[in-house]
Chain A
């Protein structure tokens, strides 16, 4: 009798669990997903900063906030994996489910403006900018990247530079080469290196964005800052002869890369430069952290840096920013966090650890290494342009299509095909 009862109980349990699954399991589930705006007061700071230096930077920033506002509880809600793609997927699901985090990491430019701002999910921050006097503390072109129709929607915390040419100092000295500043010089140096049996340019495009990143710097070098920016506003068509010229140059560059590029990721490519198997590599300046921290190489001794060919005086910007989602019940607290984030103190707590430079132009230069100092100097004077590969210049969907087209191009080298794909994808840019 007892056994029978147990069996029936077990069955009922299964029935309840399966048939009315959503009811019983909702409670379990909401414990699993991190507590969002529902918990009053708690600020969950959403990012994908879980790597070595960046996590330390974030923690330093959170510690600074706790010191200033000890009575506002704060939580690090970072999501690891996939260089931010995982986090973006989680963010999208939370935003769609009307459960936004208190504030979240988003690249300035299209990634912010064409998605969350366009979907009317963000509060404008004009008051905060006014109150903190930020309007002349961030470069004007940077503020444009976080603005739409005259309203500011997020606060930049850091700057990474996209158009950096990293090179192995020893290899360059041994072959008595000068660092190329134009494409002609680049190809001349590359020919010399090739003769010596050294791979001139390291590429790791296992993840296709790395090839797009290289292409973007070539576009910038061939077009110049003005025309490059016009591409994204539709003022310059993608079938312009200059774009075609850039594709030709890109194609030529690809004849100098390591043969196994498609089985390497960007770190593996940087490693080739570190070991001297390859001479140069084009990558954003997060590579500096990889050179110094992971490969234990010294700046300006083992490896050097310069703007990519033809991009002297321009600065490909990737900026991490944080905004204020609509529909929060603790938005005043969030604004307090954003004010710390945008302060000199906040930026100087975060950036030296993260290995980026501050978005403010009045930060304390002495806290940064030589690369940081040089880059901060360039940042002040250079023309700032948004990065394509990292979602600042154009919407994610466009970038996906460019990645696809570039992936095909790397193998096939069809200049006309690349241009026409860009052209047809560009019609979506309006």
Chain B
């Protein structure tokens, strides 16, 4: 029997390797990037501390701020579409998979439905671009080339790719619902519909909070699909620009555009805070309360 103090020490020792990697490859770059956002690293003359100047520029320059708010609003829409379409889709498919109606083919369907989530975004973007290509594809209307439909189109491609994730979450939660409860409900005369909504659904409800917050984190750190489809100045007229592409454009520049590392660092910090604050609020306020409700 080891003493609590020794157990504590051992615990630290075991955590150390992971902690070291995390510190060096995640915390340190993040901290450096935040520090950088307070500097003007312009030229070989060295770095000058400029306080909040980069942030002031980000939020007050007519063009820079307009593009930023546009990207933020687009990102919210991108998130909302994911939430509204992906979650009900995941729930429906998870419910069908666990309904027992599929019998032995359940495993096959589960795998098939999850496959898109394992594909590379470049492939997803390429395939969908061909499918909806007005020249060679199935849809005559230029979905990606029209301002009002472009963002929704890209969001739905992303939904198609990732609906497997909420599906798997809800699927495993549904499997964890104790059979006795379902049987008891059946004996009480509840049909499949009632059992699902009155027994199963309340038990898996806590999953929705988790799925929502994960979707939030993913979509606000989103970048790859938009970049793969539309590059770093996603049009038309920046209608598919999200925070990730906005950051990329600012930080990396382009052939005719200087890379603005400092402003880019400020954008990255704002994205980080946007994700951090909402996630923190969620965990403090909602997730803790939900825990007491789950079985």
Question: A and B from one assembly?
Answer: no
Q: Measuring CB to CB, which residues of chain A are less than 8 angstroms from any residue of chain B?
A: none
